[in-house]
Amino acid sequence: MSLVVGVDIGNSTTEACAADVGADGEVTYLSAALGRTTGVKGTVANVPGVVEVVVRALKAAGRDPAGVRAVLVNEATPVISGLAMETITETVITESTMIGHNPDTPGGVGLGVGTTVAFADLPDRAPGDAVICVAGADADFEDVAAGINAAVTRGVRVTGAVVQADDATLIANRLREPVPVVDEVTLVHRVPLGMPAAVEVAEQGRTIRTLSNSYGIATVFGLDPEQTRMIAPVARALVGNRSAVVVRTPSGDVTGRRIPAGILTLIGERTKRSVEVDAGAKEIMETWRRVRPLADADGEPGTHVGGMLARVRDTMADLTAMPRDAVRIQDVLAVDTFVPQRVTGGLAGEFALENAVALAAMVRTSRGPMELLADRLREALGTDVLIGGVEADMALLGALTTPGTAKPMAILDLGGGSTDAAVTDEGADEGAQVRSVHLAGAGDLVTSLIDSELGLDDTDLAEEIKKFPLAKAESFFHIRMEDGTVRFFDEALPAEAFARVVVLTDAGMRPIRTGHGVERIRQVRRSAKQRVFVTNALRALEQVAPGGDIRRIGFVVVLGGAALDFEIPDMIAEAVSEFGIVSGTGNVRGSEGPRNAVATGLVAGHASAHAASTAVRCG
Q: Which residues bind ligand ADP (CB under 6 A)?
A: 10-13, 37, 415-417, 443-444, 463, 467, 560-562, 564-565
Alpha carbons within 13 angstroms on the beta-carbon side of residue 531 total 26
Nearer to Mg ion, 12 or 102 (CB): 12
Per CB under 5 A, the list member of 42, 112, 216, 415 interacting with Mg ion is 415
Residue nearest to Mg ion (CB): 10
Q: Quick check: helix, strand or coil at residue 355?
A: strand
Nearer to Mg ion, 212 or 436 (CB): 436
- State the nearest-atom distance from the C-beta of 57 to Mg ion, in Å: 16
- State the nearest-atom distance from the C-beta of 404 to ligand ADP, in Å: 22
C-beta neighbour count of 257 within 10 angstroms: 7
CA dist., res. 205 & res. 224, Å (int): 33
Q: Which does 571 bind (CB under 5 to 8 A by kind): Mg ion, ligand ADP, none?
A: none
Q: Site size for Mg ion, by CB under 5 A?
A: 2
Nearer to ligand ADP, 523 or 613 (CB): 523
Please report the sign of the dihedral spanned by the C-alpha atoms of residue 238, residue 239, residue 241, residue 245.
positive
Query: Among 90, 9, 81, 91, which residue's Cα sits nearest to residue 50?
Result: 9
Nearer to Mg ion, 262 or 398 (CB): 398
Element (H, E) at 288: helix 281-291
Q: Do residues 244 and 99 lie in contact, with contact meaning Cβ atoms separated by under 8 Å?
A: yes
Nearer to ligand ADP, 292 or 438 (CB): 438
Nearer to ligand ADP, 32 or 550 (CB): 32
Please report the sign of the dihedral spanned by the C-alpha atoms of residue 569, residue 572, residue 578, residue 584.
negative
Nearer to Mg ion, 114 or 601 (CB): 601
Give the per-residue contact string, 115-154, with Mg ion (x = CB under 5 A; - = no): ----------------------------------------
Give the per-residue contact string, 327-366, with Mg ion (x = CB under 5 A; - = no): ----------------------------------------
- State the nearest-atom distance from the C-beta of 485 to ligand ADP, in Å: 21
- State the nearest-atom distance from the C-beta of 508 to ligand ADP, in Å: 16
- Contact range with Mg ion by CB under 5 A, out of 151-159, 237-245, 302-310, 408-416: 408-416
Q: Which does 276 bind (CB under 5 to 8 A by kind): Mg ion, ligand ADP, none?
A: none
- State the nearest-atom distance from the C-beta of 183 to ligand ADP, in Å: 40
Q: Do residues 509 and 469 lie in contact, with contact meaning Cβ atoms separated by under 8 Å?
A: no
Amino acid at the residue 411: I
- Alpha helix positions (H), 384-495: 391-399, 443-453, 459-467
Q: Do residues 394 and 8 lie in contact, with contact meaning Cβ atoms separated by under 8 Å?
A: yes
Phi first, then psi, for residue 576 (nearest 5°) are -85, -15
CA dist., res. 355 & res. 359, Å (int): 13
Q: Quick check: helix, strand or coil at residue 369?
A: helix
C-beta neighbour count of 162 within 10 angstroms: 27
**Is position 586 an interface residue for Mg ion (rule: CB under 5 A)?**
no
**3-class SS string, 9-66:** ECCCEEEEEEEEECCCCCEEEEEEEEEECCCCCCCHHHHHHHHHHHHHHHHHHCCCHH
Q: Which does 443 bind (CB under 5 to 8 A by kind): Mg ion, ligand ADP, none?
A: ligand ADP
- State the nearest-atom distance from the C-beta of 402 to Mg ion, in Å: 16
Nearer to Mg ion, 388 or 415 (CB): 415
Helix 568-577 with 535-544: angle, nearest 10 deg: 50
- State the nearest-atom distance from the C-beta of 338 to ligand ADP, in Å: 21
Q: Which does 280 bind (CB under 5 to 8 A by kind): ligand ADP, Mg ion, none?
A: none
Phi first, then psi, for residue 382 (nearest 5°) are 65, 25
- State the nearest-atom distance from the C-beta of 395 to Mg ion, in Å: 7
Give the per-residue contact string, 3-42, with Mg ion (x = CB under 5 A; - = no): -------x--------------------------------
Query: Among 345, 452, 367, which residue's Cα sits nearest to residue 92?
Result: 345
Q: Which does 467 bind (CB under 5 to 8 A by kind): Mg ion, ligand ADP, none?
A: ligand ADP
Residues of this chain that interact with Mg ion (CB under 5 A) are: 10, 415
